[in-house]
Amino acid sequence: MRIIQICPGSGDNFYCENCLRDAALVKAVRNLGHDVLMVPLYLPLQADKVEQVSNAPIFFGGVNVYLQQKLSIFRKTPRWIDRWFDSRRLLEWAGRKAGMTNARDLGETTISMLQGEDGRQVKELDRFVDWLVTEPQKPDVVCLSNVLLAGLARRIKQRLGVPVVCLLQDEDGFLDGLTSPYAERAWAVVHERVRDIDAFLAVSKYYGDTMATRLKVDEKKIHVVRMGVELDVYKPYESGPAVPTIGFLSRMCPERGLDTLVDAFILLKKNAGLRSAKLRVSGGRSVADEPFIRRQQNKLQSAGILGDVEFLHAFERDAKLEFLKTLSVLSVPEPRPVAYGLYVLEALAMGVPVVEPAIGCFPETIAATGGGVLYEPNTAERLAQVMEPLLLDSQAAHRLGAEGRAGVFKAFDIGRTAGEMIGIYEQIVRK
């Protein structure tokens, strides 16, 4: 099959599950013998810096999207000017400034992009589709990385005459996070635009059920395809860390629950048996995250344990794998339900047990792997209480991690994920 995969990109500034998922999927689908063209929008693609998965130009560069939203003159500029704003260096700078736009700008731009040919970025849309049409080989199917790209579907189907499918992963959190009235307006546009999409692929049963309701689409259009990881990459150390070590692997922001984990760590350090315990934090950050990170560091400083905590910058694949080898347990105490939790699979694949709140996809993943502990309510006190036995008993933690690793190898192979996706694509193309 010939597949065009369209993804947003992240600019390599933080642990972007969406981008990492897309890059791994493209590689796995290619390994099955299919032709995949990966096209990043907004920002350059994060792909664990292992291999180049896309040579496609960037059309909807984040800077251009913003300028075309704010000033009508940029909706008419020639392509050579737009290319300058789409330069990799400038887009990576913009990526580091995530959050520099205000809530109104973010809401209005989101709605405009969802409106597709009726939005203010129609110039970019038409140039993008023109480019797709000139590709030497017509695709069999176009895949959108998430429903926030649904505004592209109508024009793509009109010009290319091929089915459009859409992956689903945590879009509801972003849309709900827009301020009123933009959240309500964005959902209304989404409900209209998803009519242009032929099928949806959800990363978990939890999220498939959730989005069937929230998108107001027929459940038959949503297929659950459990996401996986590249199993041969994960080779854990047998010995484990010398001292109890907690890990956090996600963007360092309140939306990922880092503050809850910091508070739990402060409580754990009061246990005489855990005076030597360490906390290691990785996953990247934006400029907008820095005040939040400083507040966490100030809490740790006030507790006299800042020296036992590391905030790491490098999180590309090799650094990430080395990081995971140093952990006794990993926890990303998400404050709201999530669809996937790639970091859970990555930790378990390395033999590191996880402790997660009993919300979203986590009960589903833990049940399938057996490699973690769930807790509720999602408070620092309860997290510390549940994590403490694993930190005090390294052998118990090792056994739990080994069970989780076996579970991941049994149920979360990215090759199987790719095969299931291709099967669904083939069904859609035959209709």
Q: Tell whether 260 and 396 lie within a shared domain.
A: yes
Q: Tell whether 265 and 363 lie within a shared domain.
A: yes
Q: Tell whether 90 and 102 lie within a shared domain.
A: yes
Q: Tell whether 58 and 191 lie within a shared domain.
A: yes
CATH number of domain containing 369: 3.40.50.2000
Q: Tell whether 344 and 200 lie within a shared domain.
A: no
Domain count, the chain: 2
Q: Tell whether 10 and 151 lie within a shared domain.
A: yes
Q: Tell whether 217 and 261 lie within a shared domain.
A: no
Q: Tell whether 55 and 193 lie within a shared domain.
A: yes
Examine the pLDDT at 191 and tell me if it is beyond 70.
Answer: yes
Q: Tell whether 151 and 216 lie within a shared domain.
A: yes
Lowest mean pLDDT among 47-51, 241-245, 252-256, 342-346: 47-51
Q: Tell whether 224 and 176 lie within a shared domain.
A: yes
284 burial (CB, 10 Å; 0-12 / 13-18 / 19+) is: buried
The per-residue b/e assignment along 98-122, b for 16 or more CB within 10 angstroms, e otherwise, is beebeeeebbbbbbbbbbbeebbbb
Residue 76's pLDDT band (cuts 50, 70, 90): low
Q: Are the CB atoms for 251 and 285 separated by under 8 Å?
A: yes
Q: Tell whether 348 and 376 lie within a shared domain.
A: yes
State which residues form the domain around 327. Answer: 231-411
Q: Which of 123, 166, 169, 159 is nearest to 139 (CA)?
A: 159
In what helix (H) or strand (E) does residue 139 lie, and over which residues does it extend? none
Residue 413 pairs in a beta bridge with 229
**pLDDT tens digit string along 343-392?**
999 999 999 999 999 999 999 999 999 999 999 999 999 999 999 999 99
- Read off the tokens for 195: 């009519």
Residue 292's pLDDT band (cuts 50, 70, 90): very high
Q: Which of 220, 188, 175, 180 is nearest to 202 (CA)?
A: 220
Q: Tell whether 106 and 74 lie within a shared domain.
A: yes
